[in-house]
Amino acid sequence: MPLLAIDNVSVSYGKAEAVRDVSLQVEKGQIVTVIGPNGAGKTSLLMAAIGLLRSTGRIIYDGRDISRLETEERIEMGFCLVPERRELFSDLSVYDNLRLGAYSRRAASGEIKDDIAQVFDRFPRLLERRNQMAGTLSGGERQMLALGRALMARPRLLMLDEPSLGLAPLITREIFRIIASLRDLGVSILLVEQNARAALETADFGYVMETGEIVHSGSADALMHDPRLIATYMGGSEVS
Amino acid sequence: MTPDIAAILALDGIATGAIYVLMALGFVLIFAVTRVVFVPFGDIAAFTALTLAALELGRLPGTVGLVIGLAVLATLMELYSILRAGSYERIPRALLFYLVLPVAIAGLVWITSGTLWPMPFRIALALLLILPVAPLLDRIVYRPIADASVLLLLTVSVALHFALVGLGLLFFGPDGARTESLTDAMFMLGNIPISGQTILIVVAAAIFCGLLYLFFDFTLLGKALHATALNRTGARLMGIRPERSGTIAYLAGSVLAGVSGILIAPVNTIFYDSGFLLGLKAFVGAIIGGLISFPVTAIGSIFVGLLESFASFQSSAFKEVIVFSVLIPVLLWRSYTFQHTEEDMDE
Ligand SMILES: Nc1ncnc2c1ncn2[C@@H]1O[C@H](COP(=O)(O)OP(=O)(O)OP(=O)(O)O)[C@@H](O)[C@H]1O
Ligand SMILES: [Mg+2]
């Protein structure tokens, strides 16, 4: 049984349909990626999955239909999203942002302190800036904080919307290394990316989305070597 | 004007200003978390004063009927939306918070209303009774239009204020009331007399400012409220429910409104419609703080209190005219320096 099954989901903005009849699955312990051009509907799909956008169709999480649950209830079930716009609390410190990441857990404060220490281990730059306001962080630091804040919820399924957006190549590689390491901790991941090659290198399975629909899917390996995709999404040069 | 008179006026102004501080902090708190300019804030303060006055006379305060009516209406609306969403497991909680608790408080006051309790107990009862009013109004009036623009929410607030004034006349009648003074103590500072009442007001305002500060800076719930104010989507993604943050902001606001009502009740005669002017002056303090800054709000409110005190010495008939004519340029100046407020809140 997949951890997440998105079942014939459609999203509309007024008359315009941004996502049409999309179905996809994320198995436990997998990294699944959705790639596709700008405006394909990837962000809309994630927003619908977490309940911030109204949608039709069904969203099954851990065997339960959560389509009618509030976003907050989905979060409490360990289903989390790092949104494209990050949505950090700009006037709160890095530390407070992380602390609030664990809001849904109602855990003992000792346990939460340990988890914050772990995030700081993962992102030493955040430790240096623990008392700085989130709004004054650099782009890369904000991405780290957004990811770290989501980890504070101890998610079972984490959706990441373009985690490498605007990052220097070196940090991008670092972020993807961290994403891969999360899988080893047992976190399943649904990853939306523009950087198709890096995403497919990290993922187990991939979907390609164009103008609101899934047009290809397959193992990450197969997609990475699919000549049609190489031409469109990977700058045309074959890798092996 | 001799220095002594100036000092007396200043003390008086600081006391009045301190009451405005409490109310203005409530405005800022509620606006920051919910984007609602809660115009009926002054009415809540006035109703608290009238409630205390009724309890003092051993009468049943009109607030009892008001709370029960609002509770029934809010419960019906909540049940309707629960049934429509099909999430029946939320029913017990809804009944507890929207019906059982408010009605229990109203019932308690009703049963004990014949008895003449000592003053601290009366004050506690009045505060307890006023506590559910704003959260219930939130459920009835603002929750259904939570995503509306700030302007629409403001318009609705103004309408709600007029509705409340009408209800105030219905439940409290047209007579004004002034309560017993909280203390008759008098102190002399050189040859300037300071009443215990003044000291009490300033101390109460300081205590509540301190509590608010501690709440926001040192508790998880306070941080969650702050987070809701900064970024609603971000808050929801952390599992923080904006409606619940809103309810807590309204509860905290009710305490502030209630306390200011209690403090002003022995100083001014309060009528069912006195709330508006009180609220307006506090609101000006809040605007000086750009509706976001707590410290500037406090300074602004004290400034309004001082202005009012000196204006009433110059000419008590033209007090309000003087106050608001001086305030207009100040507000214009603030509106130039605070251009970014709106975007900040929308982000
Ligand atoms: N609030 C909105 N109102 C109207 N149309 C919208 C809205 N949000 C998104 N859209 C449209 O829906 C379509 C899908 O947008 P979406 O953000 O989901 O794409 P995306 O795949 O995430 O793109 P990108 O890779 O650029 O982030 C786009 O055509 C976009 O213009
Ligand atoms: Mg997107």
Whether the CB-CB separation of B71 and B102 falls below 8 Å is answered with yes
Q: What is the C-alpha to C-alpha distance for residues B22 and A198, in angstroms, rounded to an integer?
A: 55
Higher pLDDT, A189 or B291: A189
Examine the domain organization and report whether A113 and A175 are in the same domain.
no
CB of A238 less than 8 A from some CB of B: no
- Domain with B100, as residue range(s), is 22-174+194-275
Question: Which CATH number belongs to the domain containing residue A28 in this structure?
Answer: 3.40.50.300
Q: Which residues of A touch B86 (CB under 8 A)?
A: 68
Best mutation site among A6, A9, A13 for ligand 1 pocket (most ligand atoms within 8 Å of CB): A13
pLDDT at A239 exceeding the cut of 70? no
Average pLDDT, chain A: 93
Examine the domain organization and report whether A67 and A99 are in the same domain.
no
- Domain with A137, as residue range(s), is 88-154
CB of B347 less than 8 A from some CB of A: yes
| Ligand 1 surroundings by CB, under 6 angstroms | A 13, 16, 18, 36, 38-44, 84, 194
Q: What is the C-alpha to C-alpha distance for residues B194 and B185, in angstroms, rounded to an integer?
A: 9
Res A236: pLDDT: 52
Q: B237, B344, B347: best mutation site toward chain A, by most A Cβ within 10 Å?
A: B237
Examine the domain organization and report whether A126 and A177 are in the same domain.
no
Residues with CB under 5 A from ligand 2 (ion): A 43, 84
Q: How confident is the model at residue A87 (pLDDT cuts 50, 70, 90)?
A: very high
Res A6: pLDDT: 97
Res A154: pLDDT: 95
Quick check: is B333 in a domain? no
pLDDT at A70 exceeding the cut of 50? yes
Examine the domain organization and report whether A129 and A65 are in the same domain.
no
Whether the CB-CB separation of A36 and A208 falls below 8 Å is answered with yes
Quick check: is A83 in a domain? no
Quick check: is A6 in a domain? yes
pLDDT tens digit sequence for A143-182: 999 999 999 999 999 999 999 888 888 888 889 999 999 9
Q: What is the C-alpha to C-alpha distance for residues B276 and B27, in angstroms, rounded to an integer?
A: 13
Ligand 2 centre distance from Cα of residue A194 (Å):
9
pLDDT at A235 exceeding the cut of 80? no
Angle CA B73–B78–B84, to nearest 5: 130
Our count of domains for chain A comes to 2
Best mutation site among A6, A15, A44, A84 for ligand 1 pocket (most ligand atoms within 8 Å of CB): A44
Q: What is the C-alpha to C-alpha distance for residues B245 and B80, in angstroms, rounded to an integer?
A: 22
Examine the domain organization and report whether A118 and A131 are in the same domain.
yes
Verify whether the Cβ–Cβ distance B239 to A52 is below 8 Å.
no
CB of B234 less than 8 A from some CB of A: yes
Res B113: pLDDT: 80
Q: Could you read off the pLDDT tens digit of each residue along chain B, which spans 347 residues?
A: 788 889 889 999 999 999 999 999 998 899 989 989 999 999 999 999 999 999 999 889 999 999 999 999 999 999 999 998 888 888 999 999 999 999 999 999 999 887 888 899 999 999 999 999 999 999 999 999 988 898 999 999 999 999 999 999 999 999 999 998 888 888 888 888 888 999 999 999 999 989 988 998 899 999 999 999 999 999 999 999 999 999 999 999 999 999 999 999 998 899 999 999 888 888 888 888 777 778 888 888 999 999 989 988 888 788 888 888 877 887 788 777 765 544 444 43
Q: The tokens of A136 are what?
A: 């004054």
Q: What is the C-alpha to C-alpha distance for residues A48 and B321, in angstroms, rounded to an integer?
A: 54
Quick check: is B295 in a domain? no
Asked which of A132, A154, A176 is the last residue of a domain, the reply is A154
Whether the CB-CB separation of A132 and A95 falls below 8 Å is answered with no
Q: Which residues of B touch A116 (CB under 8 A)?
A: none
Looking up tokens 């049934």 gives B83
Burial status of residue A38 (CB atoms within 10 A of its CB: 0-12, 13-18, 19 or more): exposed
Our count of domains for chain B comes to 1
Quick check: is B285 in a domain? no
Verify whether the Cβ–Cβ distance B240 to A83 is below 8 Å.
no
Among all residues of chain B, which has the CA nearest to that of A69?
A: B87
Asked which of A129, A154, A179 is the last residue of a domain, the reply is A154
Whether the CB-CB separation of B195 and B185 falls below 8 Å is answered with yes
Mean pLDDT along residues A216-237:
83
- Closest residue to atom 29 of ligand 1, CA basis: A39
Verify whether the Cβ–Cβ distance A92 to B239 is below 8 Å.
no
Which ranges of chain A does DSSP label H, i.e. alpha helix? 42-50, 71-76, 94-101, 109-122, 124-128, 139-151, 169-184, 196-202, 220-224, 227-233
Mean pLDDT along residues A83-89:
95
